[in-house]
Structures are given as C-alpha cells and as structure tokens.
A and B are shown apart, each in its own frame.
Chain A
Amino acid sequence: MAHTTEIKDAADVLIEEYGVDDHFHDHHEGDKYQSNFLMTYVFSMDHKIIAKQFLITGMFWAFIGAAMSVIFRLQLGFPESDMAWLQPILGKWIEVNDAGIGILSQEFYYALVTMHGTIIVFFVLTAGLSGTFSNLLIPLQVGTRDMASPFLNMLSYWFFFLAGLVMFLSLFVSTGPFSGGWVAYPPLSALSQASSGSGVGMDLWLLSLVFFVVSVLLGGINYVTTVLNLRTKGMTMWRLPLTIWAFLITAIIGILSFPVLVSGFFLLMFDRMLDTSFYLSEIFIGGQALDHVGGSPILYQHLFWFLGHPEVYIIILPAMGIVSEVLSVHSRKPIFGYRAMVFSILAIAFLSFLVWAHHMFMSGINPFISMIFTLFTLVIAVPSAVKVFNWIATLYKGNVRFNSASLFAIGFVSLFISGGLTGIFLGNSAIDIQMHDTYFVVAHFHIVMGIAAFFGMFAGIYHWFPKMYGRFMNETVGKIHFWITMIGAYAIFWPMHYIGIAGVPRRYYSFSNFDTFSQFAEMNKFITIAAIVVFVAQLFFVANFFYSIWKGKKQRVKNPWGATTLEWTTPIVPGHGNWPDKLPAVHRWSYDYGKGGEEFISQIQPVEDWEKEYDDH
C-alpha cells in the first residue's frame, strides 16, 4: 500500500523502539491474498475487507427490512387507502378490487412482519453489527496481524451471504415467504398446509437460518480464539478496550446458544419431513384430523427462547461495547468503572441463559416456574443499571465533543434507559397477563434492542469510518441524520406504549373492525408518518456513507480522535498485516485520558515515573 511510506510520527517511533518483531516480512505467503481484484475484494481473507463485506451486506438487508416495515405501517396507519402504486414491486400481493383500489394481501402482511423480524434480528443486528465490528476491531485493537483463521473468517462471511441469498429467494416464491412470525412457532412452521408461507417459504427460511448459524459459529470461534490467543505483548485482559470484552462475550454467548436453536430446528425438520410428532399433537387442519399425537409445541418454545433470549444480548452487547469506547474517547475521560463494566457484561451474559421463559409466561407454563424467571429477569436490571450509571458518569464533567458518533452513543444511552424501564414491567409475570402480545411489547423491544442497537452501530460507523476508508463522513449530514432518527424513533415507539396498555394486540392486520381500538386510528397514522420520516432519514445516512467512501474529507493524521487504542497506531489505510513492520507492544490500559494534564496517552506509550502516583492500572 502507498501509505506505508509516509513520514514517521510519534507512534511509529514508539512501535519501532518497543514493538514486537514477529519477522512479518520474512513470510511472503501472507501477501498472496491480495494478488488480484477477486482475491482482494471478493474472496478476501483480510479481516478489514471482511468487516466491510459484513457492513455493506448488513446495510442492504437493513434497507429491505426497514422498507418492509414501512409497507406494513402504511397498512396499519392508512388501512383504507389505495396501495395499487405498490403493485410494480409487490405484484400479486396487492389485490386490486373492482373499485380499482389496491389492498395489501393479508397473507403477505404476515409475511412482511415475519421477514422484517428475521432480517433485522439476524441479518442486520447480528451479522451486520457484530460481524462488522468484531472483524474490524478485534485484530486491530488486540494488536495482531489478522484473525486466528482468516480462512474460516472468509467462510463465515460467505455462509452469511448464502443465508441471505436463500432468504432473498424465498421472497420471490409464488406461495410467498414464511409468514408465521420470526419465532417460527409450530404448528404454523411445522405443517406445510398451515399457511401459504409454511411450505416452500418455511423450507427456505430454515435452510437460510442453518447457514446463518454456521456463519455465526465460524465467526464466533475465530473471535474467541483471536482474543484469547493472539493478543500482542503487554495486552493483558484487563487492558483490553471494552469493545473487545463485549465482542468476546458476545461470541461466547453465540457459541453456547445458537447450537440450541439448531437442535430446535433439527426436531422441527423431523416434524416437517419425516412425520414425527415432537411438536405436534391432536391437530385438525381444514376439518381433517392429523395423525400426530403426543408432541408439545411448548418444547419448541423452550428450545427457541434458549437461543432467543441470549440473542438479544448478542445484539446489544457489541453496541454497548462500541458506545463505551465512543463515549470515553469523545468525552476525553476514562470510562467510569472499567472493571464494573466488564463484570456487568459477564453478569448479563450469565443471566441471559436463565431468563428465556419470560417469553413464555402466557404459553401455559407452570406459574411457579414463572416466578423464578421473573426473579432472574429483574436481576438483569442490576448490571444494566450499573452500565447506564457508568456511561452517564463518563459523560459527567467531560469535555464532550458533540459529533455524529458521540451523539449516537448518547442517544443509545437514552434509548436503553427508556426501553429498559418498560422491561421491568414486562418481566413481571403478573403484569405480563395484561401486556403480553400488545404494542407495549413491540415498543419495549424495538427501543431497547432494535433502535438502541442501531444507534450503537451508527456510533461505531461514524467513529471508525476513517479507519475503514481513510476518510470522514460528512458531519452536517450526520447530525441531521441523528436528530431526525432520535426524535423520529421516539415518535414511532412512544405512542405504542399507550395503545399497548390499552390492549391493542400486535401482529393484527387491521383494527378497523374493532370498536375498542378505532379511537387509535389517528395515533396509528401519526406512527406511520413518523416511520416514513425516519426511513427517509436513513437514506441520508446511506448517501453520506457511499459518498464519503470516495469523496469524504481525507484523514490526514493517524489518530484523528486522539484515542488511546491500538487501531489508531496503524498507517491511515492499513495494509495486509495491519502494521507495516513491528507489532506494537502495550504498556497500559486503554483509557488513559486527561492523566496528569496529558490529553490522552496511547497504549503503546511506556509508563513513566511521574505516573506512579496516579493509579494502579
């Protein structure tokens, strides 16, 4: 790369003096990877390129998933309006009646809701978020040349790609994609005659998610191995940035919980294809009795939610890690309570395996079991509150730079508080009798893990964009993006709490026939308009992103944010192997900001005598 010949700065001098010589240049085999276009940008084994692949694929899916939500929001906000204009895209799923008015097919409405959930949860917030930033940051921040196995890393992306491809195809089959909800409960998911999407649509859905799990496991094994085995000299676990802690624990949760989902799917496939009765019992369909006897659909729910609940932490922990790092860098202060942050990540991860049945309070499980799950669920509030306290304490009296990255990080904290509080309501099995399956639940999880995770992702993209492309994203557009999204997100989901408490059920196609709910027609209209505005604001972001890749303001110095972590000691556009010569050695933790009058001290700076009186890090 051309940039490796630039003038030496302080970081280069430090690395040359104290760095680890791993004879990088004696091994030329490593350079083979970037020999031609195909190997450099498509079948790349370089973690930085793979990160970009995850990010851009994730953005593609985010666009599809969000566009789907706009379509079903149109149905909910304007149920009587003419949707014939959508016919060129949706084809036969818009049924035009005799009066020439296009109506969204009811079957397809459910397919849209199902696909929106599946896509956003798995493809965007799991692969797009943790895939992107684990790949980009783990090798750069722990100080290694690449992942433990670059080959498995490449496979991880391509399995994700394959999963996406299969899911994308399922959108175009004539019976429609799967439409039984993203949780795929049997019998809707087990019997191909249950709904039009339960046939081929469900087959493809299952296939896609199995590929997806393979991708997550390959990625996760790599992340854990890299963090635990390939840290550079001096990088002890207690010196890792919180991003790395978050990615590490996320990967471990994934490795432990995704196989359980596969088990659930495995038995589901038996029920679908081999006529077994794991989940099916005494079912009549179309007036006909099926010969399935002795199964239990609740069994599937247990297996599903044993993944499903840890999955929400797989989504939110990377966002938390990113936010911790971004807040600390941009408030020019050490993160408050570093060890408490690590222990709360560990506590959240541990508890995440003990709360799955709170998704099943109303499915007929034993009320005494519900009690225990209520208890554990409420205990999760403790480490979560510790984290929130520490973020606010980090901001307190900080010299905060209000740029796009830090604004999104602050927005994350706001959303996490708002969404977390409603979790305390829903975690109670008694209150859940009223609240379950209403818009209150929709509001809760969209704010606390949907929008919040997106905010973490945006904070990360704005912050590390220079690391990815050597350019900055446009700040003005970034701030416009932030304010519209921030206000818009609350405008969408805040009203949903009210209609949820009033008992409006989620997943319904239309409320026009219910007198009780007709009073909310105007509110639904408002929500839909807010959703459209927020959707349009995201297009600003996408335009900014792609414009900035080629035309953004150029990064002139290696460490534009004045951060302490290792990724900013590489050349501006790091080549293969990240550091051109020696690997940096680490002498201190990752949050030395404002120590002894120094604005920040990089991790590669040896500890000097005057610092001894300051700390024990």
Chain B
Amino acid sequence: MMVATTDKKHALQSKKFGLWIGLGSITMMFVALTSAYIVRRSAGNWLEFKLPNMFFISTVVILISSMALELSYRAYNAHKEHVYKLWLFIALGLGLLFCLTQYWGWQQLYEIGVPLNGNPAGSFIYAISGLHVAHVVGGIMAILMAIYHAMSLPFFVSDERKNRFKMVLHYWHFVDILWIYLLLFFLVFR
C-alpha cells in the first residue's frame, strides 16, 4: 500500500491501531445483538432448549486453531520456517473445521425442533452464530493471504511481515474470544 507517511515504523503501528478500532466496531455489533437478545428474552414467550453439543466441540476446535496460529507466529519469529508453515496450515484447517462444526450445530438445533423461523429464542442463536461465522470466514481469508505470502515469498523475517502476521493473529484471537463470549452468553441467558 502506498502511504505518504515515510516514517515506516509509525505507519505500521497505525495500521494495527486501525485494526483494533475495527475490532471495537465489530464488538459493538455483537454487543447490540446480545442486548437485543436480553431485551427480547425479558419480554416472555421464550423457548428454552439445550445448546447443541457441536457448539462445544467447535469451541475446542477454534481454541486449538488460535493456539496453532500463535505457535506459527512464534516459529516465524524464531526463524523456524517449516514449523511456521506447518502450524499455519493447521490453523487454516481448524478454522475451516470450525465453520463445519457450526453448521452441524445448526443441523442439531433443527433436529431437536428449533428451526430458524420458529421462536425468536432459536432464531437469535442462528443469526448471532451465523454472523460470527461470517467474521471467521473473513479471518480464514486473512490466513489464506498469509499462506500465500508464506509460500510465494522467500523466507525472511522483517518488521513489515511480522506486523502483517500480527494483524492476522490479533484478528484470529479476536474471533476466538468473541465465540467464547457468545457461547457463555447463550449458556447463561437461556
């Protein structure tokens, strides 16, 4: 990207700063949805049901995936090329698996009689977890970009590449933490 500021370090910092502001805005979106959930729930006529087991499996999957990307980042910093690439691919695979387990979770929900267009209690689960998956897909795109860079560029460690990787990493941890928040929220406010 062509940045008119020539102070490179400063420019890198400000990109990460921008990402964090973006994460703040995504957070607001989910805060709004979960508050809407609470408001609607307190109005009564609310269906109670157990969360699908798949949601717990997907939680484990995304946690490991987050860890994998972290390990990949550390390997990159430690100049371990192969370990870095390996964990990068594992993180991607687990990210994809997360989306799949979420889908299976929705199928389980449907099977126990909680369809998308039934009581809002169920619709909220589909809508909120669906929007979260959309953000995970964004993260998967970012990891794909990282893989593309890892495979096409010759291996070397630079501030710019570190920073780029760090931004992917932060985003990926963010969607991970966001999912844990959502899961706990669904468990507490049933």
Contact of B123 among A145, A278, A576 (CB under 8 A): A278
Return chain B residues, CB-CB under 8 Å to A293.
45
Q: Are A303 and B2 in contact (CB under 8 A)?
A: no
How far is it, in angstroms, between the C-alpha of A255 and the C-alpha of B25 when the chains are bound? 5
Beta-carbon contact of A577 and B120 below 8 Å: no
B residues less than 8 Å from A556 (CB atoms): none
Q: Is B7 an interface residue (CB 8 A)?
A: yes
Q: With A150-B2, A267-B36, A274-B116 as given contacts, are A262 and B123 in contact (CB-CB < 8 Å)? A: no
The answer to whether A263 and B117 touch across the interface, beta carbons within 8 angstroms, is: no
A233 to chain B, nearest CB (A): 11
Q: How many angstroms from the CA of A33 to the CA of B15 in the assembled complex?
A: 20
Asked if A208 is at the interface (CB within 8 A of a chain B CB), the reply is no
**Among the listed A22, A262, A275, which residue makes an inter-chain contact with B5, where contact means beta carbons less than 8 Å apart?**
A22
Q: Which residues of chain B come closer than 8 Å to A270, judged between CB atoms?
A: 123, 127
Q: Does A552 contact B (CB under 8 A)?
A: no
In the complex, whether B40 has a CB less than 8 A from a CB of chain A is: yes
Verify B45–A259 contact, CB threshold 8 A: no
A263 to chain B, nearest CB (A): 4
Cβ of A264: which chain B residues have Cβ within 8 Å of it?
Answer: 32, 36
**Residue B14 lies at the interface, judged by CB distance under 8 Å to chain A:** yes
> Nearest-CB distance from A210 to chain B (Å)?
12
Given A148-B14, A256-B28, A277-B123, are A296 and B2 also a contact pair (CB < 8 Å)? no
A30: interface (CB < 8 Å): yes
User: How many Å lie between the Cα of A221 and that of B33 in the bound state?
Assistant: 22
* Range, interface on chain B: 35 or more
- The residues in A between 229 and 261 inclusive whose CB is less than 8 angstroms from any CB of B are 229-230, 255-260
Instruction: Give the complex CA separation of A266 and B37 in angstroms.
Output: 13
Check if B117 sits within 8 Å of A30, measured CB to CB: no
B33 touches A266 (CB 8 A): yes
Q: In the complex the two chains form, is B29's CB within 8 Å of A150's CB? A: no
Is B6 close to A, CB under 8 A? yes
Closest CB in chain B relative to A34 CB, distance in Å? 11
Write the nearest CB–CB distance from B138 to chain A, whole angstroms.
13
- Let me know if B78 is at the binding interface, CB within 8 A: no
* Contact (Cβ within 8 A) A262 B2: no
Give the nearest-CB partner of B119 in chain A: A294
Instruction: Answer whether residue A314 sits at the interface, using C-beta atoms and an 8 A cutoff.
Output: no
A306 with B14, Cβ < 8 A, contacts A149-B3, A258-B25 known = no
Q: A225-B14, A255-B21, A256-B28 are in contact. Are A45 and B2 (CB under 8 A)?
A: yes
| Chain A interface, number of residues (Cβ within 8 angstroms) | 55
Interface string of B17-43 (1 = CB under 8 A from A): 110011011101111110010011001
Known contacts A264-B32, A278-B123, A302-B39, A150 near B18 by CB under 8 Å? no
- Contact status A225-B6, CB under 8 Å: no
Report which of B26, B29, B33, B123 forms a contact with A276, defined as CB distance below 8 A.
Answer: B123
B50 within 8 A of A: no
Q: Are A277 and B120 in contact (CB under 8 A)?
A: yes
Q: Given A27-B6, A148-B11, A270-B127 in contact, is the A262-B29 Cβ separation under 8 Å?
A: yes
Cβ of A229 and Cβ of B32 under 8 Å apart?
no
Residues of A within 8 A of B7 (CB): 22
**Contacts known (A22-B7, A148-B15, A303-B36); A217 close to B25, Cβ less than 8 A:** yes
Would A149 and B18 count as touching, CB distance under 8 A?
Answer: yes
- In the complex, what distance in Å separates the CA atom of A150 from the CA atom of B14? 12
Q: Is residue B13 within 8 Å, beta carbon to beta carbon, of the partner chain?
A: yes
How far is it, in angstroms, between the C-alpha of A257 and the C-alpha of B5 when the chains are bound? 30
Considering only residues 206-220 of chain A, those with a C-beta below 8 Å from chain B are: 217, 220
B26 and A225 within 8 A (CB): no
Interface flag for A396 (CB, 8 Å)? no
Chain B residues near A278 (CB-CB < 8 A): 36, 40, 120, 123-124, 127
Tell me the smallest distance from the CB of A159 to a CB of chain B, in Å: 14
Question: In the complex the two chains form, is B5's CB within 8 Å of A274's CB?
Answer: no
Q: Is the CB of B120 within 8 A of A294?
A: yes
Looking at the assembled complex, report how far the CB atom of B116 sits from the nearest CB atom of chain A, in whole angstroms: 6
Across the interface, which residues of B come within 8 angstroms of A220, CB to CB?
A: 21
In the bound complex, how far is the Cα of B40 from the Cα of A40, in angstroms?
51
**Which residues of A approach B to under 8 Å, CB–CB?**
22-24, 26-27, 29-30, 32-33, 45, 144-146, 148-152, 217, 220-222, 224-226, 228-230, 255-260, 262-264, 266-267, 270, 274-278, 293-296, 299, 302-303, 306, 576-577
13 additional A-B residue pairs with CB within 8 Å, beyond A22-B7, A220-B21: A149-B18, A217-B22, A225-B17, A225-B18, A255-B25, A256-B25, A259-B29, A259-B32, A263-B36, A264-B32, A266-B127, A276-B120, A278-B120
User: Which 9 A-B residue pairings sit nearest by Cβ, starting from the closest?
Assistant: A145-B4, A146-B4, A259-B29, A263-B32, A260-B32, A229-B14, A275-B117, A259-B28, A276-B123
Q: Which residues of B contact A (CB under 8 A)?
A: 1-7, 10-11, 13-15, 17-18, 21-22, 24-26, 28-33, 36, 39-40, 43, 45, 116-117, 119-120, 123-124, 127, 131
Q: Can you list 14 residue pairs at the A/B interface with Cβ under 8 Å?
A: A23-B6, A33-B2, A148-B14, A148-B18, A221-B22, A255-B28, A258-B25, A259-B32, A266-B131, A274-B117, A275-B116, A278-B36, A295-B120, A577-B4
